[in-house]
Structure 1
Amino acid sequence: MVPDSPSAPSASSVPSVPSPVPSVLDLAPVVPVVVVEDLADAVPMARALVAGGLPAIEVTLRTPVALDAIRAIAADVPDAVVGAGTVISARNVADSVAAGARFLVSPGWTESLLVAMEGSGVPFLPGVSTTSEVVALLERGVSEMKFFPAEAAGGTAYLKSLGGPLPQARFCPTGGITPGTAPTYLALKNVGCVGGSWMLPSDAVAAKDWARVESLAREASTLR
């Protein structure tokens, strides 16, 4: 007697899998760069940013609760596209993806880190600040990068100069960018988005003033 085939699981019993992220650079004009000190802030902070029109959220691996924050946002804020920032090792890559990160951002790159990010299965933005680093990544087929530290490394003038000989490279500049300077970056053809934290002022976060965070995020979402 042939045993009955197991019945197919119902749609409601199958866990949803987030859709792939085609390009971090095209999700929103600004990617909030988030440092989570208190894990309890992670979900309400992410909800405020998403409500304000900034779905791509880079949680930096700078605090002990960062991975738990990524895990919480991935589980409880379905409209967020949460990623990990300050990724500087293969272990960071593995831990971040396991926690639910849907993209990775590094301040710089090495051969071993690049290999790990390439094998992660999620989009990534390796950090660059020189022309040689950009060319080296283009040789590897990587055309989307983080430009860091943006203001200290030459700002808009430097990026505009790169656009002539290296038009295939696209950037997310991060580091020292403000609401006043962001539009100048976003006007460049080789800039897809910018990273910043001005929509998360320390006093608003300390006061749990998520309405203010949402308002600042909404202003940032209209900068393009």
Structure 2
Amino acid sequence: MSMCGLGSFYADGDCGTKDADCSMEIMNYKSRPDKNRAHLYKNRLFEADMTWGIYREKRSVTNRETIMTVPALKKGRHARVFAEFDDNFRNGTVYTRKSEEHYFFYPFLEVLTIHLLAEGKGVLLHACCIDDNGEGYLFLGQSGAGKSTMANLWNEESGITVPSDDRVLVSMTEQGLTAYGTPWHGTEKYAINARVPVTKIFFI
């Protein structure tokens, strides 16, 4: 499956004997079990506006009780893509059409990452990350606050790298608080597989 946007974020070489954090299977949408899912709306756990939703399936055919759909099942909408996960989001199956594989990249892959980070590994922030010659600045703000604009302004300066203009992974390492670029970029599409120690945090 081709997932435009991941680019440099693919793992380099063999991961060795380290177990994978999660295992996902991509299946054709027509092969999904229990195709009547209209009842899921009553068991909703979370919905991101109309974009996507997470629901509880009490009688799943596959014994995976957490269901995620694109779009959210509001107002009688039918899912164009849906996935079944176990409760810890470590294993699952995504049912999609060839023309809609990009939905695995977002939101499915991002939601999986958030759940893995919640196990004490870090947090995903809605922020722009600036690498100023080895010093990391985070600019946190909601959509429309100016994160991508800030990225463009900083990118004009010498010695500046912009790992991300919208989603930044932050984790505590031996070097202290560290920010990582992610493939989920903003309007200006800054997305670099790079990390930098965090020295300043701004709210915009």
With normalisation by structure 1, the TM-score equals: 0.28
Q: Which has the higher strand share?
A: 2
TM-score (norm 2): 0.30
**Which structure's relative contact order is higher, taking Cα pairs within 8 Å and 6+ residues apart?**
1
